[in-house]
Amino acid sequence: MSLVVMKFGGTSVGSIERIKNVAKIIAKKKDQGHDVVVTSSAMSGETDRLIGLLKEIDKDYDLREYDALVSTGESASCPLVAQALISMGYKAVSLSGIQIGLETDHAHSKARIMKIDGARIKKELADGKICIVAGFQGYNPVTNDIATLGRGGSDTSAVAIAAAIKADVCEIYTDVDGIYTGDPRIVRKAKKLDKISYDEMLELASLGAKVLQSRSVEFGMNYNVDIMVLSSLEDKPGTLVTKEDDEMEQVVVRGVASDKNQAKITIKSVPDRPGIAATIFSRLAKEAINVDVIIQNVSTEGNTDLSFTVSKTDLSRSLTVCRETAKEIGAKEVLADEDIAKVSIVGVGMRSHAGVAAKMFEVLAANSINIQMITTSEIKVSCVVDEKFAELAVRVLHEAFVED
């Protein structure tokens, strides 16, 4: 017998029929003799409906009231899941973020989890009950106000709850059946992975493989929670996200990913003085804009060109900041390019295998794909290329690194 946390997204509980199906999956787990804690999202469409009502009043809404409003989505779906189990003859109880003592900071609409008091969950489990916990929501213990973790935050709360109650595994049920070596819609020969390390998953998640929210993986890594990604539609093995082992090091590239939600900004003729780059990037940081790949050309005549990427959604705000700053520091002009994509290979095996980056450049060159920018980490190499080459790049890299 083990202690299992199961997480279901909005689509899985999107109708009463689906809720009954989810209840069967949960009941089966309980029948196998496990203690079961479930976290559920709002019924699909419900969160958008609530936000729609709020925006009808005011597009520039108050974040505290936003949290109080949207948290009702999960607070409504969980009693329905609990009822479905009770009607099947199981003991079940729905619990809100406040009830399980999920404490957050003050950042309404994107709060961070500070602490989870597992006492209530443990009491209910000891009574033989299945706990159905509202994902995505907690409360600020200082103000006693509800706070939500931001969209997708129910993955994070599931893993955090698993950590708090020392669950053996956190199962994330989704509409895909696991993590693949590449996007199956692009790469025909993409294979499902049995397991993947936290580090690799983090790189893939941030690179556009949107199966798991990055913060949930960080939580899993920090608290050593095994995360299993599974299908809620089919009963078959998923992918385990877990800590790195020796076997994993044998594989150089675990997966290939692409991200088209990128835009490149170039500031021309920036005076090459100490502190200039810091000025630009600290102003972007103040606007909460994440900068990804950065390259600075070799200086000529005391001036240099500075290029970096931001997400497409942040582009217009970034340009405003950059144009103001360019004027102040005496840079020549600011250019934007939205037609780019970032293509990446990820694998912990890179640490012990040389020449991986070189091989990547060769493969791209052999297919006439020009590399605009490069960035690397210990377990990842990313290249920015023309957007129209994104799928081709993924395919040839998958062939060269994964299929061989």
Binding residues for ATP: 7-10, 174-175, 180, 185, 210-211
Whether residue 183 contacts residue 209, with contact meaning beta carbons closer than 8 Å, is answered with yes
Q: Which range binds a copy of itself by CB under 8 A, 84-92, 260-268, 285-293, 310-318?
A: 84-92
Whether residue 229 contacts residue 211, with contact meaning beta carbons closer than 8 Å, is answered with yes
Measured over the CA atoms of residue 37, residue 161, residue 243 and residue 350, the dihedral's sign is positive
Instruction: Select from 29, 64, 110, 191 the one that contacts a copy of itself (CB under 8 A).
Output: 64
Tell whether residue 144 is a contact of a copy of itself (CB under 8 A): yes
Q: DSSP states of 188-232 as a string?
A: TT--B-SEEEHHHHHHHHHTT-TTS-HHHHHHHHHHT--EEEEES
Tell whether residue 94 is a contact of a copy of itself (CB under 8 A): yes
Output the smallest distance, CB 335 to a copy of itself, in A.
39
Q: Give the integer Cα–Cα distance in Å for 87 and 323.
A: 62
Tokens of 346: 């990820």
Whether residue 155 contacts residue 213, with contact meaning beta carbons closer than 8 Å, is answered with yes
Question: Considering beta carbons, is residue 75 or 174 the nearer one to a copy of itself?
Answer: 75
Tell whether residue 78 is a contact of a copy of itself (CB under 8 A): yes
Largest interatomic CA distance in the chain: 79
Output the smallest distance, CB 231 to a copy of itself, in A.
23
Buried b (16+ CB within 10 A) or exposed e, 250-276: ebbbbbbbbbbebbbbbbbbbebeeeb
Instruction: Select from 1, 33, 58, 278 the one that contacts a copy of itself (CB under 8 A).
Output: 58
Please work out the total of residues on this chain that contact a copy of itself, with binding judged by CB under 8 A: 37
Question: Considering beta carbons, is residue 84 or 276 the nearer one to a copy of itself?
Answer: 84
The candidate with the shortest Cα–Cα distance to 348, out of 377, 325, 319, is: 377
Phi and psi at 171, nearest 5°, equal -95, 120
Binding positions for substrate: 47, 74
Residues 8-47 close enough to bind a copy of itself by CB under 8 A: 16, 19-20
Tokens of 29: 């787990």
Q: Give the integer Cα–Cα distance in Å for 133 and 125.
A: 12
Binding pattern for the stretch 101-130 against a copy of itself, x by CB under 8 A and - elsewhere = -------------------x----------
- The one-letter amino acid code at 205 reads A
The candidate with the shortest Cα–Cα distance to 37, out of 114, 182, 177, 134, is: 134
- The one-letter amino acid code at 25 reads I
SS3 for 311-336 is: EHHHHHHHHHHHHHHHHHHCCCEEEE
Q: Which range binds a copy of itself by CB under 8 A, 92-100, 286-294, 361-369, 393-401?
A: 92-100
Q: Which range binds a copy of itself by CB under 8 A, 75-83, 167-175, 180-188, 208-216?
A: 75-83
Output the smallest distance, CB 377 to a copy of itself, in A.
42
Output the smallest distance, CB 395 to a copy of itself, in A.
45
Instruction: Select from 6, 27, 69, 229 the one that contacts a copy of itself (CB under 8 A).
Output: 69
Residues 206-245 close enough to bind a copy of itself by CB under 8 A: none
Q: Which residues here bind a copy of itself, judged by CB under 8 A? A: 16, 19-20, 50, 53-54, 56-58, 61-62, 64-66, 68-69, 71-72, 75-76, 78-80, 82-84, 86-87, 93-94, 96, 98-99, 120, 144-146
